[in-house]
Amino acid sequence: MFGDIASQSPIDRSVLQLFALVSEGLAQATHALLAGERETGLAVVERDQRVDELAAEVERLVWAELEQEPPVDELRHLVGTLLILSELERSADLAEHIAQRAVNSLGHQMTPLSRGIVQRMTETALAMWGSVADRYLVGSDDAVDLAEVDEEIDLLHDRLTAEIAKGAMEAPVIAQVTLLARFYERLGDHAVNLSRRIDRLRPPGDENPPS
């Protein structure tokens, strides 16, 4: 599993592509939201179909490998990959939900402070997702402490909730921004969950694989 991209199996290369699609979707969805670019938001929404198709293809490849009765270590990796796929699909859905709010021009109705917090939540989440993708690629333990970084997203979630509570936005906007806060928080949670699942792909006793 671990190594450079060229040495990866077709399954692992596709999983890394899914990581990239989620990160790109999140970055573009937030940009569309804050910049008021409805067409960019629509593109992210439409691209979610690509994520679903690629995930389905990876799942097909995994089941084909499982039918060959692989060795235990490979079996562990394949089963773990199926669990990772579900996390990736749910995360892509969250990016799509953010993009849908961009399509509805939510960003321009938010307060400046709430917009700034959303931007910071995105930057933090993207750093987490980059770290998780690197962890999947090289199996390094030198990745960012995701649980610690996730606490920053939780704190930002609390700040955004406090800004919402001020009542400076219209009621429909408050409802949508409340959902946004939850979407970003969940993206951080999924990154942490993925990191833990990736750690479990390693054979028992292999705590420090070479990078």
User: Would you say residue 187 has pLDDT above 90?
Assistant: yes
Query: Which of the listed CATH numbers 2.70.70.10, 1.20.58.220, 3.40.630.10, 3.20.20.150 matches domain 5-200?
Result: 1.20.58.220
Quick one: tokens of 34? 């804050």
pLDDT tens by residue, 67-76? 998 888 888 8
Write down the domain spans for the chain: 5-200
pLDDT tens by residue, 86-111? 999 999 999 999 999 999 999 999 99
Distance CA(124)–CA(143), nearest Å, equals: 14
Percent of the chain having pLDDT more than 90? 75
Q: In terms of pTM, does the model score above 0.85?
A: yes
Distance CA(89)–CA(110), nearest Å, equals: 28
